[in-house]
């Protein structure tokens, strides 16, 4: 097999995409998310995120956790729900992050310049 770039889609996968053949079901996407979450953050984080939900958005599966979103500015204490987007065609993970909501900075009154 010839060397190729890691993110290059090979002809067999391009053909599947052109034919509309999706390899990854919602059940598989859920398992991919669970395995990645366990590897990166541990089994306790999976328990905190349950139940996980899967929805189709375009050609991606979106897996979301159910952990309540907490607002704050101390990153060490923030906890948030998972969101992972996975290709329905290849299983590639497009994004994997936690949905943090940071508080808006306090408004500083605008002072007019002396004339």
Per-domain boundaries in the chain: 17-98
Pull the structure tokens for residue 22. Answer: 């999706």
The Cα–Cα gap between 71 and 49 comes to 17
Q: Span 75-96, mean pLDDT? A: 86
- Identify which of 64, 69, 58 has the alpha carbon closest to the alpha carbon of residue 29: 64
CA atoms within 13 A on the CB side of 86: 28
pLDDT per residue as tens digits for the range 94-115: 999 887 665 666 766 666 666 5
Residue 18 tokens, joined = 């052109």
Q: Which residue has the higher pLDDT, 75 or 32?
A: 32
Considering the domain delimited by 17-98, tell me its CATH architecture: Roll (3.10)
What's the pLDDT tens digit per position in 17-62?
A: 788 889 999 999 999 999 999 999 899 988 989 999 999 999 999 9
Confidence band of 72 (pLDDT split at 50, 70, 90): low
CB distance 60 to 94 below 8 Å? yes
């Amino acid at each position: 097999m010839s060397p190729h770039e890691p993110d290059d889609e090979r002809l067999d996968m391009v053909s599947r995409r052109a034919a509309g053949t999706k390899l990854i079901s919602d059940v598989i996407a859920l398992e991919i998310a669970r395995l990645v979450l366990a590897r990166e953050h541990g089994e306790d984080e999976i328990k905190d995120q349950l139940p996980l939900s899967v929805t189709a958005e375009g050609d991606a599966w979106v897996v979301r956790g159910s952990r309540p979103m907490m607002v704050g500015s101390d990153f060490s204490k923030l906890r948030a729900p998972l969101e992972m987007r996975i290709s329905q065609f290849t299983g590639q993970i497009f994004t994997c992050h936690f949905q943090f909501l940071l508080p808006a900075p306090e408004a500083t009154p605008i002072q007019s310049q002396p004339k």
